[in-house]
Amino acid sequence: MTKLEVVFLGTSSATPTKNRSLPSLAIRREGQVILMDCGEGAQGSFVKFGLGLNREMLVLITHLHGDHVNGLLGLLQTMSMSQRIRTLTIVAPSELFGWLMSTMRVMHIGLTFEVSFVPVRSGVVYRGKDFRVRAARANHSIDSWSYLFEELPRPGVFDTKRAAALGIPEGKKWSNLQRGRTVVVDGVRFHPSQVLGPERPGRSIGYSGDTRPSRRLERFFNGVNLLIFESTFAGRDADRAVERKHSTASEAARLAKGAGVGRLVLTHFSARYRRTDSLVREARRIFPETVAAHDGLVLEVPAAQ
């Protein structure tokens, strides 16, 4: 089964701290990297955590506040200096593309690879071989988006005894059936449904970006395996969260509970909190399956059996 994991590159909010870099995380799956936000210094984290600079990669930017995007130019330049040749796809608010192009022109930055820009919109913004990414509007102080990574459903478990009883020879024909393909044996056509169990759901990862909680996002993240939600403030600072269009740990927990998610990860912490223990306790009183992210944390998302 394909390994699916999240690597947290930066877990602070607008101001970096001694132990926390600016917002960025990477989904790592079968040699592919899906980068969500790109705070300043992300290229160093790529090297530090062994993500690789020439892999198949998709970049998703939630909004154009500097702490979420200022690292992108440096990452692109570092990729070029490492002789990247693969096309890089970037999904982001459309204003980003003009900024990148003009800045690279002024600074005489040439790339060794092509960049494919996709303006973010509600709905599916990217389709991979066996996964897709959807976007929904967040509720922040500027145009902002949340993202949802979803694997496509997998075929059911292959019943070897049933296949043998039907007279289907082991080998290539079994392999084709497991891939969902019809096979023919001695003029008889066999369909995958005859030897496969019920379809198994794919895994899903939701990422809020910067936002106030909302019913829209609760519906958007319904049933995800892993929800990564901003928790800039503790409940005692709820007035600041409302004023600055961010969320508290307890608000993230209530949304996770309402959405019926599998696990909640808090991130994007204000530099005012030296430790996150109190934020985790606050959230766990509402949603027990809560942890706090830290730079370098790697979480695996297990497959449904």
Enumerate the active-site residues.
67
What Cα–Cα distance (Å) separates residue 136 from each residue in 147, 214, 278? 7, 11, 30
Q: Which amino acid does the sequence have at 96? A: L
Residues 281 and 287: beta-carbon distance below 8 Å: no
Cα dihedral 72/73/77/79 (nearest 10): 10
- Would you give the distance in Å from CA 215 to the centre of its chain? 20
Q: In degrees rounded to 5, what are phi and psi of residue 141?
A: -75, -15
The contacts of residue 303 (CB under 8 Å, 6+ apart) are 1, 2, 4, 154, 200, 203
Place of tokens 């070029």: 80
What Cα–Cα distance (Å) separates residue 119 from each residue in 150, 234, 273? 19, 33, 35
Q: What is the DSSP letter of 30?
A: T
Q: In degrees rounded to 5, what are phi and psi of residue 96?
A: -60, -35
d(CA 188, CA 199): 24
- Would you give the distance in Å from CA 74 to the centre of its chain? 21
Which candidate, 96, 100, 22, places its Cα nearest to that of 64? 96
